Every structure is written in C-alpha cells, then in structure tokens.
Amino acid sequence: MAGVKLHNLSVGYDRHPAVQRLTGAFAPDTLTAVVGPNGSGKSTLLKALAGHARPLAGEIDLCGVRPAEIAYLPQAHGLDLKFPLSLGDLVGFGLIGRRGLFGGLRTEDRDRLAEVMAQVGLQGLERRPIGSVSGGQLQRALFARVMAQDAKLVLLDEPFNGIDARAAEDLAQLMANWPAQGRTVIAVLHDLDLVRRLCPQSLVLAREAVAWGPTDTTVSPERLIEARRLAESWNTADEPPVSARPMESV
C-alpha cells in the first residue's frame, strides 16, 4: 500500500526553506488536497515527493514505492511545443515505466491509450502535434499521461489550470475515483469548493503545516486566515532592507 510519511521535513533552494518542519502522513489510497497562499511551499513539497528536490533536513518515507510507480504532473509542463510530437505519443510516455523506453506497445496498451484519451475528451486527436492544440487540450493530454501510467502514488500540481470548467469537473471526478483503485493521490488545488466536495483529506500549508486532516475541519475560514497571516509574515521577513531594494519609478 502506497502511503507517504514525512518526518521533520524541510525543503528549499540555496539553503532557504520553502517548506519547513513538516511531520505527518498521507494515508494509503486517499486523496489529499494541498492548499495555501501563493509562495507557501505547495509546489516545492510535490517536487520533493517526486524526487526532483532534495530535502534540506528531515526524511521522506515513500513506504516502498519505487520511482517508476510515481506519476507527477508539475504546474509548468516544460515541453518544447515545436518538437514533432503527437498527443498520442505524449500520452503514451505514461507507459514507459512498464514497457521501457524502447518497448513496443501491445494491443492492450493501445486500447488503454485510446481509453484514457477518450476519458479526457481527446478522442480522435491522437495524431495532432502538441504545438497545434490549445493549452487546455495539452493539459488534458498531460492528465491522460498520468492516467496511462497507472501509478501507485500520483502527484498533481494545479492539474486543472487552463481547462474549461466542464472539463475540469470531469477530470476532477476521475481523480476522485483513483483512491478506490489503489492509488494515493496528493493534489495542489486552489478551488476550495472542489476541495471540499471531492477531497476527504487536506493539508493547509504556509511553509509549515497549519492544519492536516479531514477536509471538513482543516479547510476552515480560521485555518485559511492563519495560513495567510503566516505567509504574509514570511513575505515581510524575506523582503530586502529598504536600502537594498530597487528604486521605484515615478
């Protein structure tokens, strides 16, 4: 079972912590939303869980989950849209962990790819170059790639950005079903209505844990106000001295 345990975790850049002293656990086969103000360390936390950022201190215990069993959808895709790659090829990369980089697709693989592309509303667009589709279609293809990977641990950073409301709701419903399929899902989300409707567990983050547990108690006005207060205090502390700030134009 794919849970995640954190012990006194601090993660950051140039020894400057973006997440600090985080201790707790994401239970196996659950959907947990990570919410908080801008700059509160949400994306950094997911990067660390995906193995893309090294802890400054503390530990991450993936409870036996191997890197190939982790699916990670970052906030910025980083794709070269001029590269000659089709949507079908992009989604098919989700199978590399099972088939290897040069492994051929089997009939069941092609059936699975067709299935996930249909589920995200991209049926018939398999041959379309990634540079010729809308941002919303590209984001749906990246979501479908995560689905094709069939991972034990799924990490999503604002997965519904750039997607129209109806498509976002459809994808969110798919996401909500994953724990019942044996997946542990951790998603950075900003839509609090969606969080309250679909995410049983939540972590309210402001560099440190403000609240972590059942959504109906953690995502409360009081906790969100506390998170914003903490974020504002950190932002103020991070500002350079007045003499070191650039002059404002007048």
In the chain, the domains with their CATH numbers are 4-244 (3.40.50.300)
Whether pLDDT at 115 is above 90: yes
- Helix-then-strand count for the chain, H and E: 9, 9
Q: How far apart are CA 53 and CA 62, in angstroms?
A: 15
Query: So what's the pLDDT on residue 250?
Result: 24
Quote the pLDDT of residue 105. Answer: 66
pLDDT value for 240: 43
43-47, 67-71, 86-90, 103-107: least confidently modelled range: 103-107
Q: Give pLDDT, residue 241.
A: 42
Contact 219, 196 (CB under 8 A): yes
Predicted TM-score of the model (pTM)? 0.89
Is residue 86 pLDDT above 50, yes or no? yes
Q: Give per-residue pLDDT as tens, 53-70.
A: 999 999 999 999 999 899
Instruction: Band the pLDDT of 248: cuts 50, 70, 90.
Output: very low
Q: For residue 141, what pLDDT is reported? A: 94
- Compute how many other C-beta atoms are within 10 angstroms of the C-beta atom of residue 93: 14
> Could you give the CA distance from residue 224 to residue 218 in angstroms, rounded to a whole number?
9
pLDDT score, position 234: 72
Per-residue pLDDT band for 76 (boundaries 50, 70, 90) equals confident
- Span of 64-78, 102-116, 201-215 with lowest mean pLDDT: 102-116
The answer to whether 187 and 159 are in contact (CB under 8 A) is: yes
How confident is the model over 128-168, as pLDDT tens digits? 999 999 999 999 999 999 999 989 999 999 999 889 998 99
Residues 6 or more apart whose CB falls under 8 angstroms from that of 88 comprise 113, 117, 126, 127
pLDDT of residue 238: 57
Mapped onto helix, strand or coil, the DSSP state of residue 85 is coil
**105 or 153: whose pLDDT is higher?**
153
* Residue 43: both structure tokens together: 């994306």
| Average pLDDT estimate for 172-188 | 96
